[in-house]
Structure 1
Amino acid sequence: MSDVRVSVCMATYNGAAYLQEQLDSILAELEPQDEVVIVDDASSDGTVALLSTVDDPRVRVHPRGNNRGYVRTFEEALGLATGDVLMLSDQDDIWVPGRRALLVDATLDHAVAASNLVLLGDDSPLRSPLTGRDWLLRAEDGARTAYNQRQILMGDAPYFGCAMAIRRDFLATALPFPDYLDESHDLWLATLANACGELVHVAAPTVRRRIHDSNASSERPRGVRQALQSRLLLVRLWREARRRARARA
């Protein structure tokens, strides 16, 4: 057993269909000192009822009466976490065995670790929405700040919150999220870590991603207007990341 305390930070919303399987995969990975912090974003299905049946003291559930969207829900979960390393988690995926140890090790020297993921069912990689090729992070690219930021701005960087871990000391820089951030909290964290020189890529997959009609994020290409709005948001995030990086130095 390691001395590190891990907090799993999960946002739930109408996720009863797949949540139990995800929780089972998470709890099988965790150690006795770890915790799962779940903030429910005003679900209208049986999500909260399901969570109330979980008989594990490591699981803490925070139901909310007002729906604020997944970005603010994840932000709250991060703020409530007490662990040394925080791992983001969606409600509908499956953790790959060994995820905890792999990401804890990766955060020893870098504040944010981003791993690859594969598709649940056949363990194939995602496909880039721009090129159609396998959409993978390479370990050797983790320190290539300019390259990584260019890929983010192009919309061709596979940074997913469900495959990320954050060291606790980085929260003071990452939080609060920019007030205009209403999507892509994972790209905010990757952009900020990249600007601070604190990003590391983990080539091994740590999540099996479930694709269904209710996914909060999609790998499908966006329309022109949406794509332009997204690029503008990413430029604003890069500017804010550089500002916070200078303040952190």
Structure 2
Amino acid sequence: MATYNGEKCIKQQIESILSQLSDDDEVIISDDSSTDNTIGIIKSFSDNRLKIFVNTHKKGPVGNFATALENAKFDFIFLADQDDLWLEGKVKRHMELMQQFELVVSDAIVVTEDGTVLFESFFKARNSGRGLLKNLRVNSYLGCCMSFRRSLLNKAFPFPKNLYMHDWWLGLVAEIEGSIYFCEEKFLHYIRHPNNATQTLQIKLPLSKKIANRWGFIKALINLKIKGLF
């Protein structure tokens, strides 16, 4: 989990995660130098499964998740945002599916902060699905809905320089490998806030930036191929 100034929502998210874990699991939290009470709330759980790493300087979302992944030691990894809510059965079902697939993506219900449903299915709203070219155009890989084996992380990490989105990159690497499952069961309330709750769920960028981002992904995938990781 990557956190930054998440005091308004972090408590319920951690509760929704811990309730599904065994005593041997762990939650790796990388905090990007929060200035609110995020760290205090995390520590108030007094739960040894919570491992906190605080960045000495701001790294941004990709760098923050990179720190968390650097410190993840187990073979099965889930990504989590600070402001969503895991629904019952997520860990159990993902673990079942990861026995067969390297990357699992489950569906989500898109809601506002007060629980109003915006979209019953993120998959349908985003037209999510497999396909390298499809996902170079529009990303289907929402990190907070993903879990994956360490074998995938070993191919995708360390992240390429100037990476635009970590979850998108993991999904594209998995597309090359081919071991992916899109699970239509919904295991997350994907909470959209007033400043980001759009009707398209798309990030609006200038065309030049979109082209640059995708070209960066393509070059990074080619580099992995050259290194023999595929």
Q: TM-score range by the shorter chain?
A: 0.7 to 0.9
Matched, 1:233 2:229: no
Alpha-carbon deviations, 1:116-170, whole Å to 9, x = none? 211233372248xxxxx632545xxx4xxxxx22222222x43100001110122
SS at match of 2:79: strand
Per-residue deviation, 1:245: 4.6
Question: How much is the aligned-residue C-alpha RMSD, in angstroms?
Answer: 2.3
Query: Do the aligned residues in 1 keep the contact of 2:126 with 2:201 (CA within 8 Å)?
Result: no
Q: 1:175 aligns with which of 141, 157, 160?
A: 157
In structure 2, stretches of 5+ residues that fail to align are none
Q: Distance in 1 between matches of 2:76 and 2:154?
A: 14
Equivalent residue, structure 2, for 1:135: 126
Query: Do the aligned residues in 2 keep the contact of 1:39 with 1:77 (CA within 8 Å)?
Result: yes
Equivalent residue, structure 2, for 1:64: 55
Query: Do the aligned residues in 1 keep the contact of 2:153 with 2:170 (CA within 8 Å)?
Result: no
Per-residue deviation, 1:220: 4.0
Query: Do the aligned residues in 1 keep the contact of 2:84 with 2:188 (CA within 8 Å)?
Result: yes
Per-residue deviation, 1:53: 1.0
Q: 1:209 aligns with which of 190, 196, 200?
A: 190
**Greater shift in the superposed pair: 86-95 or 59-68:** 59-68
Q: Distance in 2 between matches of 1:242 and 1:199?
A: 20
Query: Do the aligned residues in 2 keep the contact of 1:71 with 1:185 (CA within 8 Å)?
Result: yes
TM-score, structure 2 normalization? 0.88
Query: Do the aligned residues in 2 keep the contact of 1:153 with 1:231 (CA within 8 Å)?
Result: no
Per-residue deviation, 1:204: 1.3
Per-residue deviation, 1:243: 3.7
SS at match of 1:65: coil
**Within-5 A mapping of 1:73-88:** 73-88=64-79
Q: Amino acid of the residue matched to residue 134 of structure 2?
A: Q
Equivalent residue, structure 2, for 1:12: 3
Q: Distance in 2 between matches of 1:15 and 1:75?
A: 18
Question: How many aligned residue pairs are there?
Answer: 223
Q: Distance in 2 between matches of 1:245 and 1:73?
A: 26
Per-residue deviation, 1:235: 2.9
In structure 1, stretches of 5+ residues that fail to align are 1-9, 128-132, 143-147
Q: 2:121 aligns with which of 103, 109, 125?
A: 125
Alpha-carbon deviations, 1:42-94, whole Å to 9, x = none? 00111111112112111111112211101011011111011120000000000
Q: Distance in 2 between matches of 1:170 and 1:235?
A: 22
**Within-5 A mapping of 1:24-103:** 24-103=15-94
Alpha-carbon deviations, 1:178-231, whole Å to 9, x = none? 0121x321110100100122222112122111111466x9924514x2x43123
Query: Do the aligned residues in 1 keep the contact of 2:107 with 2:122 (CA within 8 Å)?
Result: no
Identity level (%): 27
Q: Amino acid of the residue matched to residue 194 of structure 1?
A: E
Q: 1:21 aligns with which of 9, 12, 33?
A: 12
Give structure 1 regions of 4+ aligned residues with deviation exceeding 3 angstroms.
none
Q: Amino acid of the residue matched to residue 137 of structure 2?
A: M
